[in-house]
Homo-oligomer: A and B are copies of this chain.
Amino acid sequence: MVNIEIDWPPETDLAVKEEMFAAELARGQELARAGQLRRLWRIPGRWANWSLYEVADATELHNALTSLPLWPWMTVQVHALADHPNDPRQLGITVERGQ
């Protein structure tokens, strides 16, 4: 589980920002297709997100995160996760919810 806050100078030129964003999106999709980045959520009201990675070890995770174009502006907190015997997915419980 990775928590990322982005500290981006508010005065930056809009074209620079858009180019950076397009590159970020592209790299994020590559990480997803490689099976490393699994889920991604926004933290409401902030330029920040929670993401769920599935990697072999901390070195692979470091390489994935630092490959993101916005990484120099990020503050990253990694939270290691261990399996929980009651995890619904481990128990095979995957009911669809009529939202």
> Which chain A residues have a beta carbon within 8 Å of chain B's beta carbons?
1-2, 8, 10, 25, 28-29, 32-46, 49-50, 54, 56-59, 61-62, 65-66, 72-84, 86-89, 91, 93, 95-97, 99
* 10 nearest A-B residue pairs (beta carbon): A35-B97, A45-B76, A10-B72, A32-B88, A41-B81, A58-B82, A42-B82, A44-B62, A62-B82, A44-B58
Report how far A37 CA is from B93 CA in the complex, Å: 10
Query: Copy number of this protein in the oligomer?
Result: 10
Residues of chain B lying within 8 A (CB to CB) of residue A78:
43-45, 80
A-B residue pairs in contact (CB < 8 Å), sample of 22: A10-B72, A29-B88, A29-B93, A32-B93, A33-B93, A35-B97, A38-B88, A38-B89, A39-B89, A40-B86, A42-B59, A42-B83, A43-B78, A43-B79, A44-B59, A44-B82, A45-B61, A45-B62, A45-B65, A54-B97, A58-B82, A59-B83
